[in-house]
Amino acid sequence: MRRVLVGADSGGTFTDVVGTDGRILKIPSTPADPGAAVRDGLAALTGPGPRPALLAHGTTVATNAVLEGTVARVALVCTEGLADVVEIGRQHRPSLYDPWHDRPAPLVGRSDRLEVGGRLDATGAVLVPLGGEVPSPADGVEAVAVCLLHADLEPVHEREVAARLRSRGWDVSASHEVSPEFREYERTVTTVLNAALRPVCAPYLAGLEGEADEVAVMTSAGGLVDLDTAAATPAALLLSGPAAGARAAAAVAVACGFPDAVSFDMGGTSTDVCLVLDGAPAEVAQHEVAGHPVRLPSVDVHTVGAGGGSIARLDAGGALVVGPASAGAVPGPACYRRGGTAPTVTDADLVAGRLPAGVALAGIGELDRAAAAAALEVAGVDADGVIRVVEAGMEQAIRRVSVERGLDPAGLALVAFGGAGPLHACALAESLGMAAVIVPAAAGVLSAVGLLTSPRRRELVRSRPRPAHLGGLAEEVRQLAEEAGRLLPGATVRTSVDARYAGQSHELTVPGPGAFAAEHRARNGYERPGHPVEVTAVRAVATRPAPAPIEDVLAGWAGRWAQRVTGPVALTRDDCTIWVPPGWEGTEGPLGSLVLRRRGRS
């Protein structure tokens, strides 16, 4: 008998658990001990039977620690004269005309920034040997980040400093092990962030060991890694759950005939959107979390603080504001009857009729419409207004990943999932003129499905000391590909390069230098024939097939829809509720999905 494989996605409000035997669970998350909800979900899913063969896990622990400021105290060991790089940052100002806008505080205090001698030049050659003692961090420091100048090119000094600190018992994150890429500020912040997350994430991940024969963890890049790798590099987990959802959404969109789409994941705390082109989620080499750059590969997910639990209020000027504050899992929306009194988007959906009267949510029970209405009344807000405001914010997010990148939404499908996504998808698609809305099977737990249907993945990157010299590039790429293959035996390896026109300060990741001009034209609207191209870094991604094909995980969901669904109607399922507005109709699509279109539009 084949043992079950389980995907468990730990979110801010719910923890979703999916088995390859077709069973699903949504249980309230346990923020004080996120692993407890995962263990409870596994116990409920498997009962007294044998433990799962695999637990594929997506986590928000790293993200929440950064957002809530609960990361560990760290020390930074850097090259002499560079202690303030982490605070000086870049000239970029995200809010240019806001005099009250503050940049996020550095993740490491000034007194915890320690300098060492020695220096390399811009090619990685030693100018000044490493000398003297490596200073010891102060009492109260839990981990150490080591980031020395040009260690992305030659880590000889950084290895020595890290080895000395480790010999004294310190938990060390070294930049050449975490993010071996040029740009000193971004590499430093990423390494500090990794060090600050290790004491938070390592014990939590260790608590999952033994819950299955094998435990794998989803990274921001949309691939599964082993437990030890995840614990060593928790900065790579900051978009863990959203990346899994985007991968599953892309697979469903392709099956439904839409290789180009936008994934729309609305949960209890936030909404994540991601552009899907040619059947794959867009990827980036760097993303940002709470104002901090993270120089690690990730699925290109854009997040806004709008979810079912987002709290509605009137600001000082009397304007209606929704989010980013959330009622979360505890106490939750007022209609949950768990002590929450603030009005939320879920309360508004219930009062407006998008959630039908008497509806019961998995893990929550029947919702209390009277409590929702009372919360809205006390706050002085109305349900329709809350819905309009939250949908305006989500529409802006979808525009950011489509219109602002030169793509007409009319040719894209909106893949709606998460517990609240299918309640708002049709309104958003209509406002943007999108081709269709796809509600996947198991939409409310699709990120957990994505955990089981995403590949094993490891990636490597190497900076190049002389970007303008392309001689020997093919050999560099070959060597890196071989190294990536050794990390994941039996894998398929894909290579790429970061290229730019000479004189530019930004790069595009392309399969090779010959593809750069066309990609530059597509992204920026022009190219420079005859202008020299530089390659700043080479990349290799090794992947092995997913634990389970999505067709197998969703096999039991086919045939659950009537021949045709016509709005207005609210369709309730165990994992989510779907609102089909007037003028919309739907039919069953592949993989048990529901494909919704504006009536009269084929």
Final residue belonging to a domain, choices 544, 573, 589 = 544
Residue 32 corresponds to which tokens in the numbers above?
A: 């004080």
pLDDT band at 323; cut points 50, 70, 90: confident
| 18 within some domain | no
pLDDT band at 143; cut points 50, 70, 90: very high
Task: For 90-142, list the strands marked E by DSSP.
Answer: 113-116, 119-120, 126-128
Residue 392: in which H helix or E strand, if any? helix 383-401
Q: Which residues of 214-250 are buried (b: 16+ CB within 10 A; e: fewer)?
A: ebbbbbbbbbbbebeebbbbbbbbbbbbbbbbbbbbb
Residue 550 CA to residue 555 CA, distance in Å, equals 8
Task: For 257-412, list the strands marked E by DSSP.
Answer: 261-266, 271-277, 280-281, 283-284, 287-289, 292-294, 298-299, 301-304, 310-314, 320-326, 360-361, 365-366
Instruction: State the pLDDT at residue 510.
Output: 94
Residue 60 CA to residue 62 CA, distance in Å, equals 6
Residues in the chain: 602
| 246 within some domain | no
Residue 167 CA to residue 152 CA, distance in Å, equals 23
One-letter amino acid of 448: A
Residue that is written with structure tokens 């392709």 in the block: 254
Residue 301 CA to residue 317 CA, distance in Å, equals 32
Higher-confidence residue of 233 and 11: namely 233
Q: Is the pLDDT of residue 161 over 80?
A: yes
Alpha helices in 170-325 (DSSP H): 175-178, 184-206, 227-232, 240-255
Q: At 597, is the secondary structure helix, strand, or coil?
A: strand
Instruction: State the pLDDT at residue 34.
Output: 87
Q: Is the pLDDT of residue 601 over 70?
A: no
pLDDT band at 90; cut points 50, 70, 90: confident
Residue 280 corresponds to which tokens in the numbers above?
A: 């794959």
Measured over the CA atoms of residue 508, residue 512, residue 513 and residue 518, the dihedral's sign is negative
**Residue 276 · residue 216 · CB < 8 Å:** no
**Which range is least confidently modeled, 93-102, 150-159, 195-204, 466-475?**
93-102
Residue that is written with structure tokens 């592949």 in the block: 590
| 97 within some domain | yes
Q: Residue 148's CB: how many other CB atoms inside 10 A?
A: 30
| 520 within some domain | yes
Instruction: State the pLDDT at residue 602.
Output: 57
Q: Is the pLDDT of residue 362 over 70?
A: no
Distance, CA of 30 to chain centre: 20
For residue 344, what is the DSSP state? Answer: B
Cis peptide before 324 (omega within 30 of 0): yes
Final residue belonging to a domain, choices 512, 544, 576 = 544
What are the pLDDT digits (tens) for 211-266? Answer: 999 999 999 999 999 999 999 999 999 999 899 999 999 999 999 999 999 999 99
Pairing of strands 492-501, 508-510: antiparallel
- Domain with 464, as residue range(s), is 458-544
pLDDT band at 339; cut points 50, 70, 90: confident
Residue 148 CA to residue 445 CA, distance in Å, equals 43
| 513 within some domain | yes
Q: Which residues of 436-458 are buried (b: 16+ CB within 10 A; e: fewer)?
A: bbbbbbbbbbbbbbbbbbbbbbb
Instruction: State the pLDDT at residue 103.
Output: 81
Residue 314 CA to residue 509 CA, distance in Å, equals 44
Final residue belonging to a domain, choices 493, 519, 544 = 544
Q: At 517, is the secondary structure helix, strand, or coil?
A: helix
**Residue 328 · residue 269 · CB < 8 Å:** yes
Angle at 406 between CA 247 and CA 529, to 5 degrees: 105
| 74 within some domain | yes
What are the pLDDT digits (tens) for 434-491? Answer: 999 999 999 989 999 999 999 999 999 999 999 999 999 999 999 999 999 999 999 9
- Give me the half-sphere count of Cα atoms (radius 13 Å) on the Cβ side of residue 572: 13
Q: At 485, is the secondary structure helix, strand, or coil?
A: helix
**Which range is least confidently modeled, 259-263, 535-539, 596-600?**
596-600
Residue 178 CA to residue 198 CA, distance in Å, equals 12
Q: Is the pLDDT of residue 33 over 90?
A: no
Instruction: State the pLDDT at residue 359.
Output: 80
Q: Residue 128's CB: how many other CB atoms inside 10 A?
A: 13
Mean pLDDT confidence for 573-598 = 91
Radius of gyration of the chain (CA): 25
Instruction: State the pLDDT at residue 63.
Output: 86
pTM: 0.90
Q: Give me the number of domains the chain comprises.
A: 2
Pairing of strands 74-79, 143-147: parallel
| 523 within some domain | yes
Mean pLDDT confidence for 93-112 = 83
Average pLDDT along the chain: 91
Q: Is the pLDDT of residue 18 over 90?
A: yes
One-letter amino acid of 17: V
pLDDT band at 363; cut points 50, 70, 90: low
- Residues whose CB is less than 8 angstroms from the CB of residue 108 and which lie 6 or more positions away in sequence, other chains included: 74, 75, 76, 86, 145, 192, 196
Residue 600 CA to residue 353 CA, distance in Å, equals 25
Q: Residue 69's CB: how many other CB atoms inside 10 A?
A: 10
Q: Is the pLDDT of residue 1 over 60?
A: no
**224-233, 322-331, 354-363 — which one is most confidently predicted on average?**
224-233
Q: Residue 507's domain is classified under what CATH number?
A: 3.30.1490
Residue 127 CA to residue 123 CA, distance in Å, equals 10
Instruction: State the pLDDT at residue 233.
Output: 96
Instruction: State the pLDDT at residue 171.
Output: 97
Mean pLDDT confidence for 500-504 = 94
- Residues whose CB is less than 8 angstroms from the CB of residue 346 and which lie 6 or more positions away in sequence, other chains included: 308, 309, 333, 335, 355, 367, 372, 420
Instruction: State the pLDDT at residue 532.
Output: 95
- Residues whose CB is less than 8 angstroms from the CB of residue 238 and which lie 6 or more positions away in sequence, other chains included: 62, 63, 66, 220, 287, 289, 294, 298
| 243 within some domain | no
pLDDT band at 47; cut points 50, 70, 90: confident
